[in-house]
Structure 1
């Protein structure tokens, strides 16, 4: 059990990679705060992992909200007595539009979830790590679309921004022992 006694917050936990990350962390002994908009899916996830060596608590919310990002970190600390790992997995696609067809509404929606959400979560995490002296870890889930244009203009821009935020955060907080990394999968 590699994650025994570790406390993790995982966004986008109700489906796909987020669901799988929560499941793996709980099976490896972590205490996990599973964050997503769909409360009923989170409750199903918590119930499905009741026999896991770790523990899972649901935290429903939309990561495009500052209050949700701050609240999920606070909830982890209050519920499990600490906080060690943040996984920024929540993300949404655009409509595959090239820049000439991209709408302001789609831009605002995608950037709120894919860029602002992780930024607000990292800010809350870094401040929590520093306040407690924890040498924590942040893992951001970007996309191959952030490195080469293989989706819509807005989505690719959002994932490129997340890669850049990851690099900056890794550099700025390495002296504090806060590790920040990014993965960039292809289509899932």
Structure 2
């Protein structure tokens, strides 16, 4: 991988795939802003990576909040002078309720984290990429749940929406190498 000195934001970094992504990227020499709600887990991750080639900084935030999505991107630019990669990994599952029993509260929670958060982060990242004039990369972590309802209709709908936002030619930016 060619990640040495790349400036990267990874959401959902305190556990699971997000944590593994951060570990790999830092071992490869990247400078990572690790984002999650659980600050204590992020601090433990940072401690475990202190002797690796790259750097990791903690950003305790909630991707369902626009302010946090914008601030995490700003944190990367402030710390490392630019943004090269955004990894939208944070996500939550629905309660697998059939649609007739699905609650408005669960719908809002899943859509806020799985759809709104990535959209707000992408919007800010693309603005940074355009300003930098060098492009960048956005990786949206999705699921087969987008096409198979094994995880429930709300989760499936959220991942299908995430996939739709990431298809090529999104507002023309992909053609320019800016996404």
Q: TM-score range by the shorter chain?
A: over 0.9
- The 3-state SS of whatever aligns with 1:93 is coil
Deviations along 1:112-154, one digit per CA (max 9) or x if unpaired, are: 0000000000000000000111220000001100022111111
- The equivalent of 2:105 in structure 1 is 105
Instruction: List, as ranges, runs of 4+ consecutive aligned residues in structure 1 with deviation greater than 4 Å.
Output: 168-171
Q: After superposition, where does 1:40-59 map in structure 2 within 5 Å?
A: 40-59=40-59
Q: Which residue matches 1:63?
A: 63
**5+ unaligned residues in a row in structure 1: which ranges?**
180-188
Match of 2:85 in 1: 85
Spell out the pairing of 1:13-162 with structure 2 (5 A cutoff): 13-162=13-162
- What TM-score do you get using the length of structure 1 for normalisation? 0.92
CA separation in 2, counterparts of 1:60 and 1:169?
32
TM-score (norm 2): 0.97
CA deviation profile, 1:87-119 (whole Å, cap 9, x unmatched) = 000000011111111000000000000000000
Verify the 8 A CA contact 2:169 2:175 in the aligned structure 1.
no
- Alignment partner, residue 182 of structure 1: none
